[in-house]
Structure 1
Amino acid sequence: MATMNKAKNQLLTPSQMFFIVYGSMTGIGVLSLPKSLVEISQQDAWISSIVGAIYPLYICLIVIYISKKYPNDNILFLSKKYFGNFLGKIFNLLFLILFVLTTVSVISGYTNIVKVYAAEFLSSLKLIIIITVVSMYTAYKGISLIGKISEIIFYITLPLIIIPLFSLGKSSILNIFPILGSGITNILKGSIETMYSYLGVEFLLLTYHYVNDKNKIKSFLLTGVFLTMVTYVWIMFITIYYFGIDVTSKSLWPFLSAAEIIDIPIINNFRYLFMLSWSFILLKSIAIYYFGVVYILKDFIKKINVKKVYLFIYPILVFLSMFFTNEITRRNFLSKVTPVMVIFSLIYASSVALLIRIKG
């Protein structure tokens, strides 16, 4: 059975799972993706974002299938059940590494953004310590709190993503033309790049059993994927619309730059408000991944108190994050490991689902 007890206050409503789905995929990747994607798909980058959503959609379909067969277990248990204890633990260990790398990537990426836009006077180490502590405390409070926070942050930040709509007059629709001008091949190549930014959806493989109404999992998961895709498409579209492909490809965080040109009469500097809201999003994302890291690790060391596991993993995450305080270094590293992480997730989830199908 699942490795953590599910007390009544540690269950999720289907709607909270929806917000976690959205929150697990909407983070640091949204801010940096326009640059890398424009270099491949040019003005058609927003189309690549639609095609790339195949990856989270596939993972969600796997989750929906598994949850029907084993509503009270998760992939850690099923991996050992179908692959055998030894091989199953190897797969679970690789899954743990995936979550550690994802957590470290977001911590260091968030640190780099804060250093540039808000707190240049603070050292990277201090920022990483603070960011990781806040995320650790949130994760430690449990999946139910994460679900509630994800819901609150969604409603707070969604208007700030929509606000750029009211400044469309400052640029030209010609920046997104010609549609399909980059060619189908480049659009498909760009969609693969987009898949990497959807990392985080794997969290569902660990936590679907927390949902208190399994009958509603399907509709809420699919809605979460759809809204995430719409968010990516919108951010990609509006960034290219504002800057065109040349400027977008030269900025490390193009969507943040787009926030700088938005003028709202009652707000003196929209960029700082936007940064604050996105800080909530990133801290929530880190908390989700931190919970995932501890959850998997706890499956290996069941006899140790979970609080000690949270404290044990904390200095490791801080230490690893310090290697990527240079944004270019961070992205170069991710460009090498992220494709491997996506491929592993696909093989891992698909193999378990296939064995369930074959063996019953």
Structure 2
Amino acid sequence: MINKIKNDILTPSQFIFTVLGTMLGLGILSLPNTLVKISQQDSWISTALGAVYPLYISLICIYVSKKYPNHNILFLSKKYFGNFLGSILNLLFLIQFTIYSFGVSSGYTNLTRVFTAEFLTPLKLIIVITTVCLYTASKGIQVIGKMCEIIFYITLPLIFLPLFALNKSSILNLLPIFGSGLSNILKGSIETVFSYTGIEVLFLIYPYINDKNKIKISSLKAVSLTAFIYIWIIFITIYYFSLDVTSKSLWPFLSASEIIDIPLINNFRYLFVLSWSFIILKTITIQYFIVVTILKDFMKKTNPKKIYFFIYPILICLPLFFTNEVMRRNFFGKVIPLTVIFSIIYVSSIALLVRIKG
């Protein structure tokens, strides 16, 4: 059971933006590049269909939370599978979020070195990223929730700024609709599913919300808002750059920022990368918090500060193996599908046992 103290509660609004923060981060900057190679101009449709995954996860969470509003999945896993098997499943859940965390931190390091700080070594960047995010994570879920809410509103203009340059391209880049074929649209939707990973955080943070009656609506709002932003970014990127340019750029949505012409700002892309950094660092912070939360369940008698010090060097070393962006994407392209399959089986099994055993 979650023992909530003053800094361990989330308002429904903070809950929404925390959940959104786990899904919206680094991946959206590169997703158009991968997706247009599969579903072409219909990639935005694939993105909408891919939202079925976070919707399914959220519906399962809503059902489980009605039965156990104050217990997270770590408790339920041991309750229904027993201490031994439950602990193994929780360990796999821990590995999953550890993979997410160093995947994002290594990708962010690669992005930063290309666009803003090529003079810094990967090690120096990763040390800074890990230190800042781990320290913030140690402040508790309420601080994280407030941070996610503030960052969302501050960075929201970045997502919709392309609206002011619509006349610089043509809607023909998105035509014909359904021209890629139904099979390619469905294949693209599977690829999009992997970009929605992070939604699994729901099963660990719903006990923190201070109004349990708002778990359902807040979860659905988080999924809907995330899906809308993903669809918009895919749509506008293809609108501006067509399939050819989008498929050749590793970070196509970043390239879209170059179209924006703001007086007195010579290099808007540089400003865009710095601003988007807040979104990515927020994602890493949430993932670190989840990693520590799961570790606390395994190390109940250990001082939480010792856990942070224990994982600090690990979180620095792991991203160093993925400083090549192409290699990083190839690796996670093989691993993330496995984590998605595990998540579906894991949470579905919990829900089924809750249904059967009550």
Q: Same fold (TM over 0.5)?
A: yes
Matched residues in 2 for 1:32 and 1:83: separation? 38
Superposition deviation, residue 205 in structure 1: 0.7
Give the aligned partner of residue 207 of structure 1. Answer: 205
Which of 99, 120, 123 lines up with 1:122 in the alignment? 120
Structure 2: distance between partners of 1:356 and 1:268: 58
Residue of structure 1 in register with 2:34 after alignment: 36
Amino acid at match of 2:351: A
SS in 2 for 1:8: coil
Give, as a single letter, the amino acid of the residue that structure 1 aligns with 2:334.
K
Deviation of residue 274 (structure 1)? 1.2
Mapped to 2, the partners of 1:89 and 1:279 lie a distance apart of: 35
Q: Distance in 2 between matches of 1:220 and 1:93?
A: 28
Structure 1's unaligned 5+ residue stretches are none
Partner of 1:346: 344
Amino acid at match of 1:295: T
The CA distance in 1 between the partners of 2:192 and 2:222, in whole Å, is 17
Out of 167, 172, 175, the position equivalent to 1:174 is 172
Superposed, which structure 2 residues align to 1:232-311 within 5 Å?
232-311=230-309
SS in structure 2 at match of 1:9: coil
Q: Which one of the candidate residues 317, 321, 330 is aligned to 1:323?
A: 321
In the aligned structure 1, how far is the partner of 2:264 from the partner of 2:155?
A: 18
Residue in 2 that maps onto 1:224: 222
For residue 121 of structure 1, give the secondary structure of its aligned residue in structure 2. Answer: coil
Q: Provide Cα deviations, 1:35-73, integer angstroms capped at 9, x if missing partner.
A: 111111001000000000001111111111111100110
CA distance in 2, matches of 1:20, 1:220: 11
Using the alignment, how far apart are the partners of 1:40 and 1:263 within structure 2? 31
1:204 Cα deviation from its structure 2 partner: 1.0
Q: What residue number does 2:131 align with?
A: 133
TM-score by length of 2: 0.99
SS across alignment from 2:263: coil
Deviating beyond 4 angstroms after TM superposition, the runs of 4 or more aligned structure 1 residues are none
What secondary structure sits across from 1:131 in the alignment? helix
Match of 1:55 in 2: 53
> Take 1:276 and 1:213, find their aligned partners in 2: how far apart are those partners?
35
Aligned-pair RMSD on alpha carbons? 0.8
| CA shift digits 1:139-196 (9 cap, x unpaired) | 0001000000000000001111101011011111111111100011110110011010
Identity of aligned residues (%): 69
Whole-angstrom distance in 2 between the partners of 1:164 and 1:308: 45
Find the partner of 1:91 among 74, 85, 89: 89
3-state DSSP class of the match of 2:248?
coil
Picking from 190, 193, 202, the partner of 1:192 is: 190
Q: 1 CA distance for matches of 2:348 and 2:151?
A: 32
Q: Which one-letter code corresponds to 1:157 in the other structure?
A: T
Alignment match, 1:146: 144
Question: Which residue identity lines up with residue 198 of structure 2 in the other structure?
Answer: G
> The residue matched to 1:116 in structure 2 has which SS?
helix
Structure 2 residue matching 1:122: 3-state secondary structure: coil
| Amino acid across the alignment from 2:23 | M
Counterparts of 2:336 and 2:86, CA distance in 1: 22
Q: CA deviation at 1:34?
A: 0.4
Deviation at 1:266, TM superposition (A): 4.5
* Deviation at residue 8 of structure 1 after TM alignment: 1.9
- Alignment correspondent of 1:10: 8
1:276, CA displacement in angstroms? 1.6
Amino acid at match of 1:78: L
- What code does the residue aligned with 2:42 have? D
Distance 1:273 1:220 in 2: 32
How does the TM-score come out when normalised to structure 1? Answer: 0.98
* Amino acid aligned to 2:96: L
